[in-house]
Amino acid sequence: MSTFSSETAAAWLCPAVAAVLGGTILCQVESRPGQRGTKVVCLAGLWGGACLLSLSVFWGALLFSVGCLLAYHHLSGQALLPVDQKAVLITGVDTGLGHALCKYLDKLGFTVFAGVLDERGAGAEDLRRTCSSRLCVLQLDITIPEQIKDAHSKVVAKVQKRGLWAVVNNAGIMGLPADGELIPMAEYRRCMAVNYFGAVEVTKAFLPLLRKSKGRLVNISSMAGGVPMERLAAYASSKAALTMFSAVIRQELSMWGVKVSVIQPGGFKTNILGTSDTWDRLEKNILEHATPDVQEDYGQEYILKLRNHVRNLEQSSSPDMSPLLLDVQHAVLAKRPLAFYTPGRGSFLLLSLASLSPTGLLDYCLKNLTMPTKTVPKALSTARWRSGGLQARS
């Protein structure tokens, strides 16, 4: 009788302990802004624990409880530090994400240094008008070393002993999405100059301040930096370089107490695609630099329709930047921020697919599940190509 009672008690006690631990984990998750993915993982853990319990009450509950304790330890490191007027430098804030991020962090109580391309422009004036007196606008073209040095001097003068807590390398450009063969070399160099070399130079200039504060470095990369997406050869290559730089320097800076995070967002409406005037200029640039052979094979009609890809990107982008803002906030303030953040629809899924799936499957999915093109180059649509390749030109 006593054996039956003890077995019955164990059968009820073990699931009860697991349920309490699981509930505690879920409460921890609820208090973490922007970490929707963590909630999904924890729920999956609860389900897995239930499966383990069905196999063996004691060992299943024990393993599940250990898993919950590990998850609790992880989540305890996700608690946010107090803002306490911490100073943050953000680059590329004239428009888009950087502009929204300045306003968001200013409302939270940060001292924000807003690096703009034009300190007299509309974006800079809007920040001065709508943000608190703590915000400081800095003229900062990250491709000009003199402006980086000047911005560094102004930041040092203002923060003094209080120090600089975080640098957010947000400035970036995309250009007109086009086939890699069509993109002029000047555009490849321009993307690298802004998206990679500029971010690296800003990082190197401000790292002594971050090392003193044991602060944060947050680099805004892109899903395209890890997923090979058509017509983004220049942009994606520069973002891939930034992602790898961040991963390497994350390990190097760990001994200094500096934490490095990379944001790899999906599609958000951030103005990085530019305006119609920008597309006109880039389109003209492509036509002027394409060799006669390339123009003949692709055809002018195909080149002029490249901007349709831009419209597709715009239509699939989310106007709600709150997931992106919350992830940057978490990277800046969490006790133990994540190394990678993937806000935006499909970003985590596609990055996982690119990392884990066979190349053939990845190429098939990207061609058929993303935004397949309906136009083909002129030469590919001709009968002579379909019947056996391009003939030798006369």
User: Which sequence positions are flagged as catalytic?
Assistant: 235
Tokens of 253: 């800076």
Q: Name the DSSP class of 227.
A: S
Q: What is the CB-side half-sphere exposure of residue 261 using CA atoms within 13 A?
A: 25
Q: Let me know how long the chain is.
A: 394
**Residue 215 near residue 333 (C-beta atoms within 8 A):** no
- Vertex 272: Cα angle to 220 and 311 (nearest 5): 130
Tokens of 254: 């760990």
What is the distance between the alpha carbons of residues 214 and 40, in angstroms, rounded to a whole number?
A: 31
Alpha-carbon Rg of the chain, whole angstroms?
A: 25
What is the distance between the alpha carbons of residues 153 and 185, in angstroms, rounded to a whole number?
A: 34
Name the nearest CA neighbour of 266 among 222, 329, 218. 222
Residue 115 in 3-state DSSP? strand
What is the distance between the alpha carbons of residues 217 and 213, in angstroms, rounded to a whole number?
A: 11
Tokens of 386: 């379909």
What is the distance between the alpha carbons of residues 327 and 331, in angstroms, rounded to a whole number?
A: 6
**Burial classification of residue 80, based on how many CB atoms lie within 10 Å of its CB (0-12 exposed, 13-18 middle, 19 or more buried):** middle
What is the distance between the alpha carbons of residues 209 and 86, in angstroms, rounded to a whole number?
A: 13
How far from 115 is each of 7, 138, 166, 180, CA to CA, in Å? 66, 5, 13, 31
Name the nearest CA neighbour of 209 among 392, 86, 297. 86
What is the distance between the alpha carbons of residues 321 and 325, in angstroms, rounded to a whole number?
A: 6
